[in-house]
A and B are shown apart, each in its own frame.
Chain A
Amino acid sequence: MIPGIGTLTQDTLWCFSQVKGTIEFGTTEADIISTVEFNHTGELLATGDKGGRVVIFQREQESKNQIHRRGEYNVYSTFQSHEPEFDYLKSLEIEEKINKIRWLPQQNAAYFLLSTNDKTVKLWKVSERDKRPEGYNLKDEEGRLRDPSTITTLRVPVLRPMDLMVEATPRRVFANAHTYHINSISVNSDYETYMSADDLRINLWNFEITNQSFNIVDIKPANMEELTEVITAAEFHPHHCNTFVYSSSKGTIRLCDMRASALCDRHTKFFEEPEDPSNRSFFSEIISSISDVKFSHSGRYIMTRDYLTVKVWDLNMENRPIETYQVHDYLRSKLCSLYENDCIFDKFECVWNGSDSVIMTGSYNNFFRMFDRNTKRDVTLEASRENSKPRAILKPRKVCVGGKRRKDEISVDSLDFSKKILHTAWHPSENIIAVAATNNLYIFQDKVN
């Protein structure tokens, strides 16, 4: 049986492939990975960190000699995308942490990506240079100017091969458009525009124009004391360039159509699951806050992540999700301490696999979870150095909720809440996943028979 992309059966085994980063006892804050994203072909994998740096890995070409080993990801380019800034007017620091990276589809030999911190979005061009001109007339080989009076003959410079050099250059800087902190960017399917969303507003940009931006959503109340919810994530529909969704801290999702009006304050669709009022507690609103929203590749579904669950919604049904998966429900009896140590505000992301049949999200203790939508099977795996032997098969993990703990299980009280997996990525067409565990990046692949 082929370990299918489509199924998470008992036959699908995940293996360790690579880990990037160092083992350190005290992690430097700057090294904490804050975003992970494959490009549209899966050839490139980008990470952003708290120090404002971007590292891009490229998959090596599979050699004919190593059929059983899939291509590994090696460093392709790295650059400082954002630097710390200071808002002098408000005496506030602007963090250089990269909140999101989004790739543009490739249209020529160069690669383009958007990276953003809290305030500024930048378009980066990553290109290769493998030739250089030689034989100038007015300069010598070291670049020093020659005395024109010593030149007696003319020659035509020629291009000669050189060692491959990968350069990253900032092509556009989209600044000064957000009063609040940017949480999302999303490239439109028209490849001409993109949006950036902060806590209260969403702006639409054209890639070519940096000094203007259209505001398409504004939920700031006239009186800030009436503020009841904020925007937590936003994304364009993968095929319909007029449609986008945004999620809120109250657990709702709004779908907007830009054809309806210039300012999309009135939604076209409103997705909310009714809550049983008798279930309400102090924590209800906090744990219902959506930390991530993602369209399926097909564009038919959206997936949302709140503190304890992942939900799949059908765009045609607004009154409740079609599927709800429990990520770590055992935390319900720990909410008090999770509130005290601020973990209850952790923002987990979620991802679809290439065929939209399996969804993945992270948890604590460096655990991450996968749910197969067809077979309804789920698995908990761990990203740790102990399981880091080449092609070692990952063993499913289990959290014991109470009573007798089996040998391989871990009890809820033993979970390490400082080891959180917030960011993961799934290759667009293959079973390769990238998992960010604080300052380390793990790459896992399914077992090739």
Chain B
Amino acid sequence: MSQKQEEENPSEETGEEKQDKQEKEGILPERAEEAKLKAKYPSLGQKPGGSDFLMKRLQKGQKYFDSGDYNMAKAKMKNKQLPSAGPDKNLVTGDHIPTPQDLPQRKSSLVTSKLAGGQVE
């Protein structure tokens, strides 16, 4: 669009331009959010939503402290430290042994559901 035309019709936009502008504003929230996230966590993986999420999903479930594994691992690596979770904290690999500090809370005993007892309106 030539400058002259813009000056003559400053408030008019062609249908196409308006649509472009709306689309850009539509993308903007998501991109702005992405920028926010990258600013907070610069080391976030290059693959958007890639296998990191999927691996985490596949291995959902509390890994428990296993004293056998733990002591075997300690014995094997007398001089070195136990391998930590590493950069992929979401991955529970074979070498990552939960420590006694990671012990989960005791679950409460099984009782009847409150939907079956309690208030009925």
Contacts and interface: CB of A to CB of B under 8 A. Distances in A.
B55 A118 contact: no
A279 B27 contact: yes
Interface string B5-43: 000000000000000000000110111111011101000
A51 B32 CA distance: 40
Residue in B38, B49, B54, B62 with the greatest tally of chain A CB atoms within 10 Å: B49
A334 interface: yes
Interface string B50-61: 110111011011
A19 B114 CA distance: 12
Interface string A9-40: 00000000011111100001011010000000
Contacts of A22: 114, 118-119
B52 to A, nearest CB: 10
A397 B104 CA distance: 40
Interface string A386-428: 0010100000000000000000000000000000000000000
Contacts of A245: none
A294 interface: no
B66 interface: yes
B115 A227 contact: no
Contact of A18 (B30, B65, B114, B121): B121
B29 A229 contact: no
B115 A93 contact: no
Q: Which of A47, A53, A84, A228 has the most CB of B within 10 A?
A: A53
A284 B49 contact: yes
B89 to A, nearest CB: 14
A225 B32 CA distance: 30
Interface in B41-80: 44, 48-51, 53-55, 57-58, 60-66, 69
Contacts of B58: 180-181, 199-200, 227, 230
Contacts of A49: 113, 115
Nearest to B44: A282
Interface stretch (A72-80, A184-192, A207-215, A372-380): A72-80
B49 A282 contact: yes
Contact of A53 (B26, B37, B60, B113): B113
B61 A118 contact: yes
B112 interface: yes
B1 interface: no
A47 B103 CA distance: 31
B57 A199 contact: yes
B49 A31 contact: no
A264 interface: no
Contacts of B113: 31, 49, 51, 53, 55, 78
A75 B44 CA distance: 49
B54 A249 contact: yes
B57 A230 contact: yes
13 contacts: A18-B120, A19-B121, A91-B64, A91-B98, A92-B61, A93-B61, A93-B104, A95-B61, A249-B53, A282-B34, A285-B50, A333-B29, A336-B34
Instruction: Sort A-B residue pairs by CB-CB distance and give the 3 closest, nearest first.
Output: A285-B49, A333-B29, A78-B116
B49 A283 contact: yes
A332 B29 contact: yes
A20 B117 CA distance: 9
B108 interface: yes
Given A281-B30, A282-B48, A83 B110 contact: yes
B118 A92 contact: no
Nearest to A90: B63
A324 to B, nearest CB: 14
B4 interface: no
Contacts of B63: 90-92
Given A49-B113, A51-B113, A228-B51, A283 B120 contact: no
Most chain A CB within 10 A, of B38, B50, B112, B121, is at B121
Contacts of A390: 121
Contact of B66 (A23, A91, A339): A91
B55 A181 contact: no
Contacts of A23: 119
A441 interface: yes
Contact of B34 (A90, A92, A225, A283): A283
Interface string B99-111: 0000010011011
Contact of B48 (A93, A118, A283, A332): A283
A388 B121 contact: yes
B59 to A, nearest CB: 8
Nearest to B64: A91
A339 B35 CA distance: 13
Contact of B115 (A83, A95, A441): A441
